[in-house]
Amino acid sequence: GQQLNQSPQSMFIQEGEDVSMNCTSSSIFNTWLWYKQEPGEGPVLLIALYKAGELTSNGRLTAQFGITRKDSFLNISASIPSDVGIYFCAGRRAGSYQLTFGKGTKLSVIP
Amino acid sequence: GAGVSQSPSNKVTEKGKDVELRCDPISGHTALYWYRQRLGQGLEFLIYFQGNSAPDKSGLPSDRFSAERTGESVSTLTIQRTQQEDSAVYLCASSFLREITGELFFGEGSRLTVL
C-alpha cells in the first residue's frame, strides 16, 4: 500500500540537541499519529493529532498536524540517550480504519 | 491481559513449511490488525478484523497468507509453504474503535526467519 514520505531516514545527534523529523503525503489525512519503536518491541504511541493545525506536546515531544492535512512533524527537545529508536509517522484517511505508515526515522543519540 | 500478546516471539522455519502466529488482543478491543515489518522498513498492512464484520484482507500479499479471528478474541495468522521473502517481524495491534479515531496498541511482534 501507499507509504508516507518520512525524513530524514536516520539521524545521529549529540545528547542535548533538538531533533526534528517530518512526514508528507500526497493524500489528505484526518489523523496523524507518531510512534516510537525500540529494538525487539512493537511501536508505542507517542502523540495523536486529530485536527489540522493542531499542535500537541508530550513532555519534550511536540508534534503538529499540518494545515494542508498532508504533513506532520515531530520535534524532540534536549535529546537524551533513551530517545534512541525508530520513530514512525502514521496517517489515517477520513472514513478509513487503516493506518498508513512512514518508513521510519532512526535516531541515534551520542552521549 | 495488560497489553497485546503475541507468540511465538521468534520462529525459525525451513522454506516450504507452514507457520502459525498467534495474537491475543487487549481485552475489550474490537479491532485487530496484522502488519508485516521487513528489516529497515515501515509497517505493511496485512489484514483487519472488526467485531463480527467481514475482515479486510486487502493487504495479504498472496494466497499463502490467511488469518482468522473468533469474535473479539484471539487471532491466528497462517503462512503456508513459507518462502525466504516471508522473513520479517509480524506485528499485531488492537484498538477500541467507537469511531475511527482509535489508536492502535501493538504487541512485541513475532520474528519469522525462513531458511
What are the pLDDT digits (tens) for B31-61? Answer: 999 999 998 788 999 999 988 888 999 999 9
All three cell numbers of B13, joined, read: 522455519
Mean pLDDT of chain B: 91
Tell whether A100 lies on the interface with B, counting CB pairs under 8 A.
Answer: yes
Minimal Cα distance from A3: which residue of B? B42
User: In the prediction, which pLDDT does B1 show?
Assistant: 53
**Contact flag A45-B100 (C-beta cutoff 8 Å):** no
Tell whether B59 lies on the interface with A, counting CB pairs under 8 A.
Answer: yes
pLDDT less than 70: residues of chain B: 1, 97-102
Tell me, rounded to whole angstroms, the distance of Cα B40 from its chain centroid.
18
Do B95 and B73 form a contact (C-beta atoms < 8 A)?
Answer: no
C-alpha span between A54 and A46 (Å, rounded): 15
Q: What are residue B12's DSSP bridge partners?
A: B113
Tell whether A84 lies on the interface with B, counting CB pairs under 8 A.
Answer: no
Q: Which of B42, B104, B109 faces A104 most closely, judged by CB atoms?
A: B42
Start-to-end Cα distance in chain A? 38
**Contact flag B103-A44 (C-beta cutoff 8 Å):** no
Shortest Cα distance, chain B CAs vs residue A96, angstroms: 7
